[in-house]
Amino acid sequence: MAPTISPQGRLKVSLKMAISRLRFAQTKKTALAKQQRRQMAELLALGKEESAKIRVENIIRDDIYIELMEMLELYCELLLARIGLLDQKECDPGLVEAVKTIIYAAPHTDIKELVLIREILVHKFGPEFTHSAMSNEDKIIPEKIVKRTIVEAPSQELVSLYLKEIARAYDVPFSELDDEDDLENKDYDGDDGYDDDDDDGEGGKPIVVEEPIAEFNDLGATPRKLSTTSGLSDLDEKQHSPIHVRPPAGTSDNPHPTVKIPDDLQKAVGKKKAKRASDAGLKKKEDDDLDALRRRFAALKR
């Protein structure tokens, strides 16, 4: 006689299989999306923009589906980590969101392991709990999940943003991207505060280049002029700072995200910069006094 598996053990096995399947599906969808982006770039290079606008909707839908699978994977990992709490008759308050989200979103995926998990949860917590999850009466299901389960055509703005990013990535022409670049160039060349004139309308003041700083190698030695570009020729223009902040990954809601620094962190950085500037001023003053003393010794030797 085959050994019987408890519902909790069956749920644990299903959660592990669902996590593995979700990761594999994400990898597969991401690879296909890269191929589709190259195809969109080829269409843009051939000037078939209308065809690209229609086909790019498939890429947008796949990206939305990948984002949905990423979030469902996190909920499955949460349930697996707290599998002992699911042995209770009532759903634990800390797992209500995860359980209801899986019940709500599993029918919108093609992952059969998720559907099996949903059936186990529905059988365990009853029809009333299931109805509450499907109708989202308590609004506990995140808005990101709800948006990604709605089947609707993407907006024209989102389609344009995707094609602009593809055109930039593959360096292919796109009419809307060219119009945007022309508008930016017009803003910089126009009278929007980017001119080099003074506020009174007169011509700008010429830039005054200071004399090179004299360096004393030794007491009594003849000062040697330092060029303002000395030492810069050895630098590699391709070198970057060892610290690099990568912007957050783009999503269907925000295809072109930026890095935002909190206000309190900006204030802290500003204070550190001010302190460094003050310390640099004190060090410069000490260096000037030392240079003056060296010049006096040089004059005495002569």
pLDDT, one tens digit for every residue, the chain (302 residues): 445 667 788 899 999 999 999 999 999 999 999 999 999 999 999 999 999 999 999 999 999 999 999 999 999 999 999 999 988 888 999 999 999 999 999 999 999 999 999 999 999 999 999 999 999 988 999 999 999 999 889 999 999 999 999 999 999 998 888 666 555 555 545 544 444 444 444 455 555 555 555 554 444 445 554 444 444 444 454 555 555 555 566 666 666 666 566 666 666 656 666 666 666 666 666 677 677 767 766 766 65
Which domain CATH number covers 56?
A: 1.20.1260.60
- Identify the CA nearest to 77 among candidates 108, 101, 98: 98
Q: Which residues contact 132 (CB under 8 A, 6 or more apart)?
A: 100, 138
Whether the pTM exceeds 0.85: the reply is no
In a domain, 117, yes or no: yes
DSSP letter at 194 equals: -
Cβ–Cβ < 8 Å for 103, 127: no
- Tens-digit pLDDT profile for residues 174-231: 888 866 655 555 554 554 444 444 444 445 555 555 555 555 444 444 555 444 444 4
How far apart are the C-alpha atoms of 167 and 42, rounded to whole Å?
10
Burial 146-182 (b: 16+ CB within 10 A, else e): eebbeeeebeeebbbbbbbbbbeeeebebeebeeeee
In a domain, 62, yes or no: yes
Phi, psi of 224 (to 5 degrees): -110, 130
What distances in angstroms separate CA 76 from CA 63, 87, 134, 144, 224, one per listed residue? 20, 16, 18, 17, 70
Which amino acid would we find at residue 266?
Q
- Tens-digit pLDDT profile for residues 83-105: 999 888 889 999 999 999 999 99
Beta bridge partners of 225: 214
In a domain, 217, yes or no: no
What distances in angstroms separate CA 107 from CA 30, 111, 173, 177, one per listed residue? 21, 9, 40, 38
Tally of domains in the chain: 1
In a domain, 226, yes or no: no
pLDDT of residue 273: 62
In a domain, 78, yes or no: yes
In a domain, 157, yes or no: yes
Query: Could you give the angle at the alpha carbon of 235 between the alpha carbons of 234 and 238, nearest 5°?
Result: 140
How far apart are the C-alpha atoms of 268 and 254, rounded to whole Å?
28
In a domain, 170, yes or no: no
Token pair 């990948």 is found at 66
How far apart are the C-alpha atoms of 36 and 44, rounded to whole Å?
12
Between helix 7-45 and helix 49-81 the angle, nearest 10°, is 160
Q: Which domain holds residue 131?
A: 7-163
In a domain, 176, yes or no: no
